[in-house]
Structures are given as C-alpha cells and as structure tokens.
Structure 1
Amino acid sequence: MNYRHSFHAGNSADVVKHSLLIALVRALQHKQSALTLIDTHAGCGLYDLYGDQAQRTGESTEGVLRAFVDENPLLDDYRAAVQAVNEGVEPRLYPGSPKILAQLLRPQDLLILNEKHPEDVRSLRAAMRGTSAAVHERDAYEFWLAMLPPRTPRGVVLVDPPYEQTDERARITTTLAAAYRKWAHGVMVVWYPLKDRAMHLRWKDQLRKLGIPKLLCVEHWLYDSDQPGIYNGAGLFIVNPPYAFTLALPPLLEVLRAALAPEGHNGEITSVWLGD
C-alpha cells in the first residue's frame, strides 16, 4: 500500500495521529527534564491542501475540515497546531508531524528529523527553516537505531512510513525489537494504515511475540464493516505511553470517532494493550 504523505495530508488518519501525538508529548512534558523528539519518516513537513496531490484525493474534507467544524474543546490543541501555520479561518496548509513537533518544543527539548526521499527532504529543510530541528537524509530504519539511546534521558520516536515496500512491516518488527533492546524505557510510536484485517491481525500477533510489556494498540476503523480493497482507517502502536496520556485517552478517542465517522457509519476507535 502506497501511503505517500502529500496525497493524504489532513485526512482522518492525520487528525487521529496528530491529536494523539500532541497529547502524548504534552503528557511527557509534565516533567521538566528534556525530551528528544525523533521522526524517522518526516515527509515534507508542510502540505498545501489545495495542491495537486492533496486535491487528487480530497481526503482533507473528511479529516481536518471536519475537526475544524467540530467544537469539542478536546480538539482545541489539534486545531491550534493546524491554525498556527495558517492565516485564514479555514486551513489551506497542513502541518506534518515535524511542524507540529516543532511547535511543542520547550527550550530544553531537541527535534531530530529524517527523510530519505530527495525531493521531500528538500521541501522538509525549507519547511523547517528558522526552527532548531536537525534534518537527516538516511535510511529510516538505520537512522532509528542509530539515534538510540538519545542524548536526553527521555524521548519519543515517531515511525510513520509510506508502506510502499512489501517488507515494510517486517522491517518495522525487526527494528522495533532491536530498538527496544537498546532503549527499553523509551517511548516509540508506529503509525500504520488499516486495509486488510487478516494481514493486520497476523502483524499484531508478531508484535505481541516481541514481549514488550507496555505496547498499546490504538485503532480507528472508519466503517461499521470492512470495505474490501480500500483504506479502512489507521492505527498507532505506542511503546511505553505515559500514564497521564493513557488516563486522558478514552474521552479523546470518543470525540475523534464521533467527529470523523463517515456519513451512515458510526465507526470504531479502540485502545488495547498487546503486552497483556
């Protein structure tokens, strides 16, 4: 499945991913000690919702634009992050994870980004100009392991690949196992699209066998039943989520489900521990 960021900017998956990413970093920042925020597949950093690639799918109408119509205060932090890169009331630009993470930085925090695609990394460097972010152009999985453990005692690694390669899930599984051995107390987040339920269940079983005690699985299924052959939603595997994050998660998930449910569907969004 090809999930190039620029074609899907601001869709329902971005709303869930970025809402939870903001909540996760905010929860970690309850402590004053420094964080290192690492993005292994950073993309372009900033996306034009009226550009050719985003308009080709039009997915932002079912994602960020729905979130802006919804008035629930639990989405205020997410809306503020999007509004920060826009001038008008309705968003025309969408911040990728690098721009959102940059907004969350405190003086003591570090942001390290990586993007292998030559065209995208040029766009990323332009988008991050004026920030303190370090930008790398390396293989994402080599970079992931090379960055661990980070210089600060605490941190977050975000792994958000396009799933262009048939072995993407296998590489994630292998690298996650190695990363956990190097940094067992670290917080790591892996994003994935949901298309084939049977394949996904097999992957979850493989991850469960890694024996990571605190591995949370958050899944957002858009439709009330599987829609064969199309994108059905997305999820996040989160290693070592902080207690403050998991405590606040249920009401945020319900707001996201309600805001993003397609017409005629209730949708489903769940969080379960895979390590139990």
Structure 2
Amino acid sequence: MNYRHAYHAGNSADVVKHALLIALVRALQLKPGALTLIDTHAGCGLYDLGGEEALRTGEAAGGVLRALADPATELADYRAAVEAVNEQAGAGDTPRLYPGSPRVLAQLLRPQDLLILNEKHPQDAAALRQAMRDTPAAVHRRDAYELWLAMVPPRTARGVVVVDPPYEQTDERARITATLAAAHRKWAHGVTVVWYPLKDRAAHRRWKDQLARLGVPKILAIEHWLYDADQPDIYNGAGLFVVNPPYAFVQDLPPLLSATRKALAPEGHRGSLEASWLTEE
C-alpha cells in the first residue's frame, strides 16, 4: 500500500493521528522534565490542501474539514493546531494549509523540549527544511530505521518516537517489528507511536499477533475503522500502536475517541474508534 503524505493530507487518518499525538504529548508534559520528540518519517511538514496531490484524492473533505466544523470540545486542541498554521499564513477562514506531524509537534514544544525530524525522500526533505525553518527542529535525511535505533535512548530522560511510514515497501511491517524489538532493548521505558493504515482485517490481525509475541509490554492499539464492514480493496481506516502510553493519556482517551469517531463517520456508517491493550504489564 502506498501512503505518501501529500496525497492524503488532512484526511480522517491525519485527524485521528494528530488529535491523539497532541493528547499524548500534553499528558507527558504534565511533568516538567524535558522531552525529546523524534519523527522518523516526517514527510514535508506542511501541506497545501489546494495542491495537485491533495485535490487528486479530495480526502480532506472527510477529515480536517469535518473536524473543523465539529464543535466538540475534545477536538479543540486539534482544531487550534490546524488554525494556527493557517492564521500564520494569512489563509483566512477557509483552511488552505495542513500541518503534518512535524508542525504539530513544533507547536507543542516547551523551552526545555527537543524536536528531531527525519525524512529520506530528497524532495520531501527539502520541503521539510523549508517548512521548519522558523522552528528549533533538527532535520535529518537518513534511513528511518537506522535513525530510530541511533537516537534512542535520547539525551533527555523522557521522549517519544513517532514512526509514520508510507508503507510503500512490502517489508515495512517487518522492519517496524524488528526495529521496535531492538529499540525496546535499548530504551525499555520510552514511548513509541507507530501509525498504520487499515485495509484488511485478517492481515492486520497477523501483524498484531507478531507484535504481541515480541515480549514488549504495554502496547496500546487504537484502531479507527471508518465503515461498519470492510470495503474490499480500499482504505478502511488507520490506527496507532502506542508503547508505554502515560496513565493520564489512557485515562482521558474515551471521550476523545468518541468525539473523533462521531466527527469522522461517513454517511450511513457509525464506524468504530477504540483502544485495547495488545500487551499489558
């Protein structure tokens, strides 16, 4: 499955991913200690919703535009993150730009926090550097899995690694599985977030079984299925694996998941957005 960021900017998967990332980092920031935020597949950092790629799919209509129109207080931080980049660009009331994870994370930085971004694709890496020029982020162009292992444990006592690949390679899940196991051996208490698209429930269940057998404790699976039944050969939703989620994040999840599901459900479908432990203590 090819999931290059520019073609899907602001879709339902982005809404879920970024709403949850904001909540996760906010929960970690309840403690004053410094955080290192690492994004292994950072993409371009900022996306033009009126650009050729985004218009080709039109997926923002079922994602960010729905979330911005929804009054749920649980989505207020997410809406503020999108509105901030558009206000900065003087885009007016209609959102023209969508912040990728790098720009979302940059908005959350406190003076003591660090942001490390990586993007191997040459064109996207150049766009990323441009998009992040007014932030303190460090930008790398390396193999994502090599960087993941090289950067953990970070210099700060706490941190988050965000792994958000385009799933262009057939061995992407295998590389994630192997690198997660190796990273856990180096940094057992670190927080890791792995994003994934959902297309086939059986294939996804097999991957979950492989991850569960790694012996990595405290993996929370958050899955957003858009439709009430699988739609063959199309994108059916997306999810996150969160390793070592903080207690405050888990406790605050139910209302956020409920509000996000309601905002994004396609017409005629309730869909589901639920969290469950893949592995516990």
User: TM over 0.5: same fold?
Assistant: yes
- Matching residue of 2:58: 58
- Cα distance in structure 2, aligned partners of 1:66 and 1:213: 35
User: Match for 1:193 among 197, 202, 205?
Assistant: 197
Match of 2:274 in 1: 270
Q: Within 5 A, what are the aligned runs for 1:253-268?
A: 253-268=257-272
Letter in 2 for 1:10: G
TM-superposition CA deviations, 1:223-276 (whole Å, max 9, x none): 000001000000000000000000000110000110000000000011010114
Instruction: Write the deviation string for residues 94-126 of structure 1: whole angstroms up to 9, x where unpaired.
Output: 000000000000000000000000000000000
User: TM-score w.r.t. structure 2 length?
Assistant: 0.98
Q: Distance in 2 between matches of 1:178 and 1:69?
A: 42
Structure 2: runs of 5 or more not aligned: none
Q: Distance in 2 between matches of 1:28 and 1:255?
A: 22
Q: Take 2:213 and 2:95, find their aligned partners in 1: how far apart are those partners?
A: 42
Q: Where in structure 1 are there 5+ consecutive unaligned residues?
A: none
Match status 1:12 vs 2:16:
no
Helix, strand or coil: the match of 2:102? helix
Taking the aligned partners of 1:45 and 1:275, their CA distance within structure 2 comes to 32
Query: Which position in structure 2 is the counterpart of 1:223?
Result: 227
Partner Cα separation in structure 2 for residue 129 and residue 238 of structure 1: 29
User: Mapping of 1:78-117 within 5 angstroms?
Assistant: 78-87=78-87, 88-117=92-121
Tell me, in whole angstroms, the C-alpha distance in 2 between the residues paired with 1:211 and 1:235: 21
Partner Cα distance (1:258, 1:211) in 2 = 34
> 1:151-171 CA deviation, whole Å, 9 max, x = no partner?
000000000000000000000
1:239 aligns with 2:243: yes
Q: Which one-letter code corresponds to 1:21 in the other structure?
A: L
What are the within-5 Å matches in structure 2 for residues 28-177 of structure 1?
28-87=28-87, 88-177=92-181
Which residue in the other structure is 2:27 paired with?
A: 27
Question: Distance in 2 between the 1:179 and 1:136 partners?
Answer: 19
How far the C-alpha of 1:219 sits from its partner, in A, is: 0.1
Root-mean-square deviation over aligned CA pairs: 0.5
TM-superposed CA distance for 1:90, in Å, is 2.1
- In 1, Cα distance between the equivalents of 2:100 and 2:222? 20
Runs of 4+ residues deviating >6 angstroms: none
Q: In the TM superposition, what is the alpha-carbon distance from 1:91 to its structure 2 partner?
A: 1.0
Matched-pair identity in %: 76
- The letter for the 2-side match of 1:29 is Q
Across the two proteins, how many residue pairs are aligned to each other?
276
- Summarize deviations over 1:189-224 as a string: whole Å, max 9, x none: 000000011110000000000111100000000000
Aligned partner of residue 177 in structure 1, secondary structure: helix
Q: Quick one: distance in 1 between partners of 2:150 and 2:93?
A: 41
TM-score of the two chains, using structure 1 as the length reference? 0.99
